[in-house]
Amino acid sequence: MNLSITIIPSKSLMVIRATLISFFTIVILGVSACSPSNQQTADLILTNAKIYTVDSMNTWAEAVAIKEGKFIYVGTEQNVGAFIGPQTKTYDLKEAMVLPGIIDAHTHPGSIAIRDNYDSTKKSGYPNMPYPASKEEILAWLENYSKKNPDLEMIVAGVWQIDTFGLTGPIKEDLDQVVPDRPVFLLDDTGHSKWVNSAFFRKFGIDKNTPDPAPGVSIFSRKPDGEPAGWLKEAAVMPWFSERDYMAPDQPQLVENLFRVLSHLSKHGVTLLYDGGNSGAEDKVYAAVKKLDDTDRLPLRYEGTYHIRLPEQVPIAISELKRLRSEYSGDRLKFNTIKIHYDGVHEVRTSAIFEPYSDDPENRGNTTFSGEVLTDFILELHEEKIDLHLHTNSDRSAHIALNAVENARNIIGKPLDTRVSTCHLELIHEDDISRFRELDVPANFTLHWNGIGYLTGWEKPIGAERAARRFSIQALIDDGATVSYSSDTTGMTRLYRTSPFFSMQVGHNRQEVGAAPDSEILPPVNERLSLEDIIHGYTKGSAYQLRYEDKLGSIEVGKIADLVILDQNLFDINRYNINEITPTAVILGGEIIQGILR
Ligand SMILES: [Zn+2]
């Protein structure tokens, strides 16, 4: 056994950890590398690389050996030779940086693929309104579009900017003046609200006697007498109409759109994603993903979901997830997590917030259903070993969700057999920070939102004091919570933002990509995250959220060989050029899925 193993520790931790590392690497590699008693030979060996393993010590390695899709050796150049056999392919990476496969733990490939429909299909598609645009410009566009498409039974289009209208939102009469006879449904740019005309309400029989599907969240704006005024918040219309299901192109087109989206993610290093939901278009989207999986065109691992937006979906959610699992699962497409839209967004004033909205003092938003219902649902998920992902955008929804997890744990008397994660978390009450660690609730963040100027319309609702403490990611990391990352993107025009390297740059700088280095930094400045922490969240943290921690998330012996080979070293590159990093190759389960190795 050769113990002269050199492992290079993470730069920033080198001094502190040097002693420990030499001890641990001897132990770890002594087992895996130096005693191939069964004379294992590798299918694939990568040497002369700078491999950032994201193991528990953030060890750097020089070489890996892969057999049947798993790592059988991680360590030095010198010792990998023991795994070379006659069939082994060996590549010299010429000191390229290697990361574990990147895990995007919440995004929406189905929505992106659907929203790329435009006019390309027989149906109305998803025509693009001018953007940004005034109310008058939108109405002029609508009039023109309506005249050009006299045969359409319904006009579905987008998008209007959320802060075009005041607190009362847009009204149906404005649309009625232009299109009185056919239903009109216009989406906003957050995806959280819609603007409809009177014909739309008539078609679906929605009137002043129709209750709000989820009071405080999924609601109809109303006139004083209760009549729906024309602005629909969140999933108010979902019992009658799913715009994503309606907008979806025919299946061959959807398959190709999805392939484009997933290939983009894969080329940028994503090897596993969690689908954050499809709002009623589940079957169309998963039939298309399955088609890619069945024809060996699915370039990454894909965790599908059942998406709860309204209380009435809770009783059927587990059986629906099981149905999706049995109908669509394949080699790379799996289903183990249910998603709940547990509140809304600040922009639409539908997030459940502790203190009222700054510009709407009667309103604290709401959760989609009570904490008691959530506790009971978590207990059911525990029995089924199914996981849960909660959209908890604000401090009060996050607090209620944490309480529900705590209550469920107390009832069971031990840690739960369902993993409950939360996402967005724009605001967290300071007393709740440590509860994410204590209750084992992963916190997912979308780092490309953390620059100045990309998201609009959120400052007014929450006011300056709360705006200055959005996204307390560092506080959670410092406390020891599991933090994961995601691109949470829903439109093809924003596909470029799904690159993890785009998000890494914004999360590292808290400035938008392209902003001058001396431009304003989104406060608080101490929330500029380290690259070590960002990589950890995008690999190990996300693997943990999705319950893949034993299989994925780091480059260690026994784990599945998903990895990304970069054209530049993340730790050497200028912090304003991280976005430009492109993988030269991506390996999925030991197979080169993108790029080439020479
Ligand atoms: Zn989402």
What pLDDT, on a 0 to 100 scale, did the predictor assign at position 255? Answer: 96
- Whole-number Å distance between alpha carbons of 61 and 336: 33
- Contact 315/306 with Cβ under 8 angstroms? no
Q: What spacing in Å lies between the alpha carbon of 181 and ligand 1's midpoint?
A: 34
In terms of pLDDT, which residue wins out, 453 or 526?
526
pLDDT in tens, 218-277: 999 999 999 999 999 999 999 999 888 888 888 999 999 999 999 999 999 999 999 999
Q: Is the peptide bond preceding residue 9 cis, with omega within 30 degrees of 0?
A: no
Q: Inform me whether the pLDDT recorded for 479 exceeds 80.
A: yes
CATH architecture of structural domain 251-553: Alpha-Beta Barrel (3.20)
Q: What single-letter amino acid sits at 64?
A: V
Q: How far is the CA of 449 from the centre of ligand 1 (A)?
A: 12
pLDDT tens digit string along 74-132?
999 999 999 999 999 999 999 999 999 999 999 999 998 987 654 444 344 467 888 88
Q: From the CA of 419, how far away is ligand 1's center (Å)?
A: 18
Q: How far is ligand 1, taken at its centre, from the CA of residue 277, in Å?
A: 7
Q: What is the dihedral of CA 135, 141, 147, 150, to 10 degrees?
A: -90
What is the length of the chain? 598
pLDDT score for 417: 97
* d(CA 282, ligand 1 centre) in Å: 14
Percent residues over pLDDT 90 in the chain: 80
Both tokens of residue 197? 């005309």
Q: Where in the chain is the domain with CATH 3.10.310.70?
A: 118-245
* Mean pLDDT, rounded, for 517-545: 95
Say how many Å lie between the CA of residue 17 and the centre of ligand 1. Answer: 38
Q: Tell me the pLDDT band of 310, cut-offs 50, 70 and 90.
A: very high
Mean pLDDT for 527-543 is 97
Residue 8 has pLDDT above 50, yes or no: no
Cis peptide before 441 (omega within 30 of 0): no
Ranges of CATH 2.30.40.10 domains, the chain = 8-95
8-95 — its CATH code? 2.30.40.10
- Looking at the predicted structure, is the pLDDT value of residue 32 above 80? no
pLDDT of residue 311: 97
Span from the CA of 265 to the centroid of ligand 1 (angstroms): 16
CA of 278 to the centre of ligand 1 (A): 9
Ligand 1 centroid – CA 108 distance (Å) = 6
Q: Which of 81-90, 187-196, 410-419, 475-484 has the lowest mean pLDDT?
A: 187-196
Interior/surface letters 100-135, b for 16+ CB within 10 angstroms, e for the rest: bbbbbbbbbbbbbbbbbbeeeeebbbbbebeeebee
Q: How far is the CA of 486 from the centre of ligand 1 (A)?
A: 9
- State the distance from the centre of ligand 1 to the C-alpha of 201, rounded, in angstroms: 27
Kindly give the distance from the C-alpha atom of residue 489 to the centroid of ligand 1, in angstroms, as a whole number. Answer: 7
Compute, in angstroms, the gap from residue 329 CA to the centroid of ligand 1. 22
Omega cis (within 30) before 299: no
CB-hemisphere CA count at 13 Å for 151? 3
Parallel, antiparallel, or unpaired for β 89-92 and 44-47?
Answer: parallel
> Which tokens go with 301?
């691992």
Q: What are phi and psi of 285, to 5 degrees?
A: -65, -45
Distance CA(276)–CA(278), nearest Å, equals 7
Residue 29 has pLDDT above 50, yes or no: no
Residues bordering ligand 1, an ion, CB closer than 5 Å: 276, 488
User: So what's the pLDDT on residue 284?
Assistant: 96
Predicted local distance difference test score (pLDDT) of residue 35: 43
In the reported structure, the alpha carbon of residue 115 is separated from the centroid of ligand 1 by a whole-number distance in angstroms of: 14
pLDDT at 38: 52
Q: Which residue has the higher pLDDT, 528 or 25?
A: 528
How far does residue 446's CA lie from ligand 1's centre (Å)? 9
Quote the ligand 1 centre to 388 CA distance (angstroms). 14
Q: Does the pLDDT value for residue 14 go beyond 50?
A: no
pLDDT digits (tens, 9 = 90+) for 483-527: 999 999 987 778 899 999 999 999 999 999 999 999 999 888 899
Q: What is the mean pLDDT of residues 521-535?
A: 94
- For every residue of 79-129, DSSP letters joined together read HHGGG--TT-EEEE-TT-EEEEPEEEEEE-HHHHHHHT-TTSSSS---PBP
448 C-alpha vs ligand 1 centroid, how far in Å? Answer: 13
- Ligand 1 centroid, distance to 114 Cα (angstroms): 15
* Least confident segment among 130-139, 285-294, 436-445: 130-139
Ligand 1 midpoint to CA 487 (Å): 8
**Token pair belonging to 308:** 């709860």
Q: Average model confidence (pLDDT) for the chain?
A: 91
The Å distance, Cα 237 to ligand 1 centre, comes to 18
Of 4-13, 120-129, 420-429, give the lowest mean pLDDT range: 4-13
How much distance in Å is there from the Cα of 440 to the middle of ligand 1?
21
CA of 107 to the centre of ligand 1 (A): 6
- Per CATH, the number for 118-245 is 3.10.310.70
Edge-to-edge order in the sheet of strand 193-196? 155-160, 184-188, 193-196, 228-233, 220-222
Q: How far is the CA of 461 from the centre of ligand 1 (A)?
A: 20
- Report the separation in Å between the CA atom of 193 and the middle of ligand 1, taken as the mean of its atom positions: 14
Q: How far is residue 282's CA from residue 174's CA, in Å, rounded to a whole number?
A: 33
pLDDT at site 20: 39
CB-based contacts of 399, cutoff 8 Å, min separation 6: 354, 429, 432
Residue 428 has pLDDT above 80, yes or no: yes
How close is the Cα of 183 to the center of ligand 1, in Å? 27
DSSP 62: S
CB proximity list for 111: less than 8 A, separation 6 or greater: 191, 244, 278, 279, 281, 490, 491
Tokens of 427: 């605001």
Q: What is the pLDDT of residues 372-387, one digit of tens each?
A: 999 999 999 999 999 9
What DSSP string describes 504-540? HHHHHHSS-TT--TTSPPPSPGGG---HHHHHHIIII
Q: What is the pLDDT of residue 245?
A: 83
**What pLDDT was estimated at residue 163?**
83
Distance CA 118, CA 414 (A): 50
Other Cβ atoms within 10 Å of 467 Cβ, number = 18
Q: How far is the CA of 7 from the centre of ligand 1 (A)?
A: 39
Cβ-based neighbours of 1, under 8 Å, separated by 6 or more: 30, 34, 35
Distance 273 CA to ligand 1 centre (A): 12
Contact status, residue 272 vs residue 103, Cβ threshold 8 Å: yes
Distance from the alpha carbon of residue 417 to the mean position of ligand 1, in angstroms:
24
CA angle 128, 253, 203 (to 5 degrees): 55
Q: Please report which residue ranges of 385-499 form alpha helices under DSSP H.
A: 395-412, 433-438, 459-467, 473-479
pLDDT at residue 126 in the model: 66
Asked if pLDDT for residue 464 goes beyond 50, the answer is yes
Ranges of CATH 3.20.20.140 domains, the chain: 251-553
Bridge partners for 63 per DSSP:
75
State the distance from the centre of ligand 1 to the C-alpha of 189, rounded, in angstroms: 13
Q: How far is CA 97 from the centre of its chain?
A: 25
* Confidence bin at 18 (pLDDT 50/70/90): very low
Q: Is the dihedral of CA 197, 199, 205, 207 positive or negative?
A: positive
